[in-house]
Chain A
């Protein structure tokens, strides 16, 4: 395209000004209820392991390759390496994203890596790499949590040894209410957020990210809510794997 005048995005309608009308969420969900969750392992034929995850309109595909040789030259290590790359599709948001990695994708990749590193038994593949790639086809809120769940399911599908499955969920605080699994519009109006990735069977927390100001009481409340959410997702993920194996 060699136009002198750059084009501007066209959006029909603005973001909703209020996401809690009369104490209910715009999609009619309870505060502590997930959107419709759907997950399926083994969706790609080329990858060693893969999974598709959908929370409401947030749609993510994850693919796992390895253990395999690293593409770059790396120093010797008795532990294996986990390499994560999360990409947002150019059309996944309201406004088109240019190709090439942006800061948000770098951040998502790094966060996903730290969340999963805790669970993967890296010493079982010394010197080698396991590559985890996520593509967010549609980004409609709680992207990172959905990516972590999809990646964890893909790792299990690839047969990579893990201490436990990792499940994740996020919470937004809007007008003092804690909203589980927030949509994009809800997250846009939040004044605080929480993301928790955990290994429910081991009852161990892999990653917590709290942003905004939280009192002690509210912080423990939000962590309880997240833990409950992770347990629900974990049960669903295990059921998905069993169904896929059957």
Chain B
């Protein structure tokens, strides 16, 4: 018995070439200023944002950039502020890879990549002042603790970009229920106090941070790399900027290649351009759910 011969042996050869010599395969594309998926070097993948896909959460967002997918969800809890603490709420961010996100992830411990992304998002939201924790206070003695949990469902490169976009989308969709603290010190909704239940408070962001990851490949800058491109790239640079174009975070975690100042400036410029694209999509997605008063 002979093995079945595929009708298009050219296609088979291309596939075999890609498997055996991934670097040469990729270099052929780059020399023509193209990428295997048809994108130009500076082009990002198609992006979709869905707001509030889950009903069990206080707010949620599903974001897809190319094949990379992340689902962010938020849960509200409340706590009594102790007297020596400032009158403000709390925001906890966690990023977890779903076990099926990639072939390397296994159930159990949080992966290193997820931990990195978690810290970068936490810093972008908290230290850079995007989230005003004072706004999360209910009264002088009680405040909201917001748990923002992000699951990476499909990891095909540029995790930070997708997770951060999911995080800010969910934050912008968050409504804080109108509550009061009753005589017993319990937090109850307005409805339970005899008011209207429909009253909610929108939670605003002072500024919306967004990220773009770029790969450095033999002197070329490749925007929004896939996981295949990430393994081929000599180094990765992730930039987070806010609406005014200020840098909120810039990460170049080692890699086998160094980047000069010109390269980094190019990365920052590319991120600013991508920011405008993403903002249009984000506003559209929010408007679809009737959310317009976000002040972004």
A residues lining the B interface (CB < 8 Å) = 1, 3-10, 12, 44-47, 50, 57, 59, 61-65, 68, 71, 85, 87, 89-96, 99, 101, 131, 133, 135, 137-140
* CB-defined A-B contacts under 8 Å, sample of 24: A1-B145, A3-B90, A4-B82, A7-B78, A7-B79, A10-B187, A44-B100, A45-B156, A46-B102, A59-B54, A63-B98, A68-B103, A87-B99, A87-B107, A90-B75, A90-B94, A90-B147, A90-B149, A91-B54, A96-B149, A137-B71, A138-B54, A139-B56, A140-B56
Report the nearest A residue to B69, measured CB to CB: A44
| CB contact list, B89-127 vs A, under 8 A | 90, 92, 94, 96, 98-103, 106-108, 110
Q: Give the complex CA separation of A99 and B81 in angstroms.
A: 25
Residues of B near A90 (CB, < 8 A) are 73, 75, 94, 96, 147, 149
Residues of A near B240 (CB, < 8 A) are none
Q: Give the complex CA separation of A133 and B99 in angstroms.
A: 6
B57 within 8 A of A: yes
Report the nearest A residue to B96, measured CB to CB: A99
B284 within 8 A of A: no
Q: When the two chains form their complex, are residues A10 and B98 in contact, meaning their CB atoms are under 8 A apart?
A: no
Indicate whether A12 sits within 8 Å of B177 (C-beta atoms), given known contacts A7-B145, A94-B56: yes
CB distance from A151 to the nearest CB of B (A): 11
Indicate whether A85 sits within 8 Å of B107 (C-beta atoms), given known contacts A6-B79, A7-B78: yes
Interface size on B, residues (CB 8 A): 48
Residues of B near A137 (CB, < 8 A) are 54, 71, 151
Report the nearest B residue to A59, measured CB to CB: B54
Residues of A near B128 (CB, < 8 A) are none
Q: When the two chains form their complex, are residues B56 and A9 in contact, meaning their CB atoms are under 8 A apart?
A: no
Report the nearest B residue to A64, measured CB to CB: B100
Report the nearest A residue to B84, measured CB to CB: A4
A-B contacts besides A3-B85, A10-B78, A140-B55, 19 pairs, CB < 8 Å: A3-B79, A5-B80, A7-B79, A10-B77, A10-B179, A12-B197, A46-B67, A46-B102, A59-B54, A61-B98, A65-B103, A85-B107, A90-B147, A91-B73, A91-B74, A96-B75, A135-B98, A137-B71, A139-B56
Residues of B near A139 (CB, < 8 A) are 56
B76 within 8 A of A: yes
B189 within 8 A of A: yes
Indicate whether A7 sits within 8 Å of B77 (C-beta atoms), given known contacts A61-B100, A135-B100: yes
Q: When the two chains form their complex, are residues A89 and B151 in contact, meaning their CB atoms are under 8 A apart?
A: yes
B47-64 interface code vs A (CB 8 A; 1 in, 0 out):
000000011110010000
Q: When the two chains form their complex, are residues A89 and B149 in contact, meaning their CB atoms are under 8 A apart?
A: yes
Q: When the two chains form their complex, are residues B54 and A135 in contact, meaning their CB atoms are under 8 A apart?
A: no
CB distance from B162 to the nearest CB of A (A): 13
B155 within 8 A of A: yes
Residues of A near B94 (CB, < 8 A) are 90, 99
CB distance from A64 to the nearest CB of B (A): 8
B154 within 8 A of A: yes
Q: Give the complex CA separation of A96 and B78 in angstroms.
A: 12
B241 within 8 A of A: no
